[in-house]
Structure 1
Amino acid sequence: MMYGGTDAWNTIWLALKDNNCGSRIIATTRKAAVASHSSSQGGYYYKMEPLTFPDSKRLFFERAFGAKDSCYEEYSHLEQVSKKVLEKCAGLPLAIITLSSLLAGKTAEDAWNNVLASIGSVLANDPRAEDMSRILSLSYFDLPQHLRTCLLYLSVFPEDYVIYKQTLINRWIAEGFIHKTQGFTRSKRKEQSAYEIGEGYFNELINRSLILPVDVNYGQAQACRVHDFVLDFITCKATEENFVTSFDDLEQGQVSGYKARRLSIMSYNSEMATISARRGDLSHIRSLTVFGDFVQNSMLDSPALRVLDLGECRKLKNHHLAYIDKFFLLKYLRIRSDSITEFPEKIRGLQYLETLDVQDTHIDEVPSTITGLQRLARLYVPMGTPFRGGIIGQMQSLEEVEGFGVDSELGKSLLELRQLTKLKTLSVTVANYLLNMGSPNKRDWDDIHDYVGTLLSSNSFHHLAISYSDEYPYNGPLSLEAWCPTTRELQKLYISVFYIDKVPSWIRSLGSLRELELSVHCLRPEDVHILGATPALVFLKLKTHYGRNGRIFIRGGLFTSLQYLNLEIEYCGTALEFEAGSMPKLEDLKLTFKPHTTKCLNGAPSDLGIQHLYALTKVHVSILVWSGTGDEVESLIKAAVGTLPNHPTVSIVRPNKRQAECRHFTETWQYKRECAALTEKIGSLQIEEHGGN
């Protein structure tokens, strides 16, 4: 097993002879970068997946009792507790072997429950767990210092807690763990933002198998979880170094001899919700995280506090935040409670605040007092929260805003965004009532078009998302051709607020664009060519009603960088085909289409040309059909996938009959055209009647 980096592998590689004599050398590593590097030198890179539950169970019982499948009945009384123990192992063979050795020969259920309840301490004290501890120590000390710090910080969170990437990175920034460096593009030097650097830290910990990825979309983990064994290890290290202090430490008087720096409180018992500062010296707390019941203000007497996370704090009320201004050095504040309906009145006193997260509250408007937060860089509010005129334009330090709401009265606030020269990430929600199906108010719909155009052309965004919280509207399609972004640095663009008439030609000129989400009324060959010619495009989510003349053809030589494709064809009647040489790097393919009959397929059922996508590792297809045609299509796709060299996993989903009702695009759009004409006629009659009065 290799613990060094790519340099260590290069040294080993020099000693290996490549003489085609048929010998094979297998090296294992916990580092994805080393594995990828070795494969580029002629090797083969195989990523080990966690064991499935049946395989985990088989290994566990064989190690603990020498039991084969036929002998499980003898230990049926351990079925439930063994399941919980195996869940702790998360499919990791070393963890399974370690725990099974601890439980070998023990058949009493109580003994197993005791081990389950104290897995951390058992592993720490049992000599048979030395292998696990040794491996974790090697992995930990192989980390550079900044990653060790970031890993230790995860001991703040409780067991099995899902830690969202955005929250974690913003906390790292507030704690001062992120060190800005210079990154390089192909043509010029470029300074990375603190968040981008933190994202690199996060991905490196995943690549080193020290944290488990959660909620993976397009190859990017949106969250993580710490394996119980790793959590126990880093908790011990954090305690040794006085890096993190837990509530239990306070209760046991373990902070009496030193000053607590970072405090994590899990107060799920209301009787524990008040903690006296006499338990230890809490005056130097820099970070406080509360899980469970709100902790009374008597324990929050700390002028040095930089990070306050009440995101998992139950029963939090508006009045609990009345004295928030006492933490005048606060850089990070996260609040999450349905009972929070307004911004704290004294929030203007937090002059050093850089991150404010109130996404999961019932706050319905941003007050003018927030303009006093002149260092605020990241603001997260509930989806669709309006900013009245004159507010957003005064917040010159903003770099990222999520939840920005737009309605017919607030379009002017979008123009203020031009004043924010540092703003790089913006998530906008358009008011649903402006998008009502069949609405005769064409002016509102035109306003939405202008809003989107203003956003595209007014700022040098890196990430821009325009959405709403309801289903796709049927209004439109609208055109984006005239609205060309002013920057070529745009990296992520998500427009799910309406269908567009065609893919704008300027898309291909966005040389940094990596992620794109669009809904196109009718996908034409020209649209496919524009998308396929976008040089850096890695992730594409595309929704369309149908292809021109009932066909979508992906030619060879296009989408040379694309790794993840999610394509949804809304209506029947479109045949899809990938030509040889198309999408040479595509790893993850997700398709949704509706071939109800042979007629709807534009001819005989097809395998879609999936056998030409040689880099595929994962295929997910939703065939919205209940007739015999679906069986034939499914068989063809599975056969095509079976020919691919990477042996991709394949998942094919079939809905029930009601969901798969045939909706052929030629018939559907004829009906909609008739409805639109009728709506326009009614609107004209109403105008004439009003004018006559």
Structure 2
Amino acid sequence: MDLLVGVSTGVTGPLLSKLSMLLDQEYGKLKGVHKHIKSLRDELTIMNATLQMIANSEELNPQMKDWRDKVRELAYDMEDCIDEFITFVDHEHDGLMASKGFFHKLKKVKARYKIASQIKELKTCAVEVSKRQMRYNIVQSTPSSSTSSIDPRLPALYEEVDRLVDIDGPKKHIIECLTKFTEGSSTQLKVVSIVGCGGLGKTTLAKQVYQTIKSQSSCSTFVSVSRNPNMKKILRNIAEGVGIIGYTTDDDIEQVIDKFRKHLQCKRYLVVIDDVWDTEAWKVIRLALFDNRSGSRIVVTTRNASVASNCSSDGGYVYHMEPLCFADSKRLFCKRAFGLEELCYPRLKEVLYGILKKCGGLPLAITTVSSLLVDQRTKDEWERVLTAIGSTLANNPDVGNMTKILSFSYFDLPHHLRTCFSYLSVFPEDCEIEKKHLINTPSVPQNITLG
């Protein structure tokens, strides 16, 4: 998860505002400065646009990482120089340099020359950074499906039932919502949305529901979406699952939707759409999966409450997933670490409670950490894992899937919230952050609004 891109955009955004202010006010009218400030702003505008483009990339190539780092450091230097320049001009206007003596005038000229030279040098650096990007054709390409890594959510689709904890109650509740009818609604399409943060087990729950009731429908399928969905591919996957034939890769989305409507006209279907990120993707899917008045059912999983409400707006139901309670967290951890539901080693009890507290009831975190302690019985090893939970554990290749799954939520944040989230990393883990302390932290940009 590349937090540094978020930090970089957080630096360049406020700096662009400062440069624009200098040009609009009398600061930039000083001889030899206006032209360089304008050039700086133009170069930085292009750099900021590129940073915004790569901010959605979950992994950057080495060349792009190097370019991003240079832009970030250049932006810090620019901000320092601009702040010094504004302070210098403000002091002049406040009469702090009102002396008419020869030596004082000489100092003022030297100070102006020094700042103008710094701005000119920064402009030269900015131009060189831009030229380097063009010279080496530094671009961030999108990996093709053939080279992309395996979907980290895949294990959740094949989880064994006897390894799960607290699944029966939620599964029964959702099945009841899907199968119960109100007067006159027995044939109406019903959409049930499962919503919750990453790592709660939404995919696992939806898969268990699907396996239990799919035999009640004439056709059914389970399809995973992504944060940046290819809608033609998703519709093709759904089409294959419900038995639609006769389409080609040349068919546009409208033609595919027409084939859906013809094929599903009199069929009772069950479709699970896993991990929907935005309403636009859902709108396209919903055009294909129409209400054929045959008692069809759709299950949607999402991390976004507004997406869930939109999906289930027409007589559907939204199920909010909650973290596991402490007792169920303990059962799940012990099942994965020891193959039993109870802790067999009293000496590990205190460390186990510390680990579970940090996992926060997230099944993904619990199963990931417990997998590191399979067949481990020494207290020292357990304490080492407890201490490592956080940034240290995130760098462990054995927990790569958990890091990727949780990082999806970070990349779904708006750019300004990513920046705010990134700057919180300057504080130690598990510490309470006071609002006043955060505001007075020099590295936190002042354009971040705190409620």
TM range (shorter): 0.3 to 0.5
Higher RCO (CA 8 Å, separation ≥ 6 residues): 2
TM-score, length of structure 2 as denominator length: 0.36
The structure whose residues are more often strand, as a share, is 1
**TM norm structure 1:** 0.24
- Higher helix proportion: 2
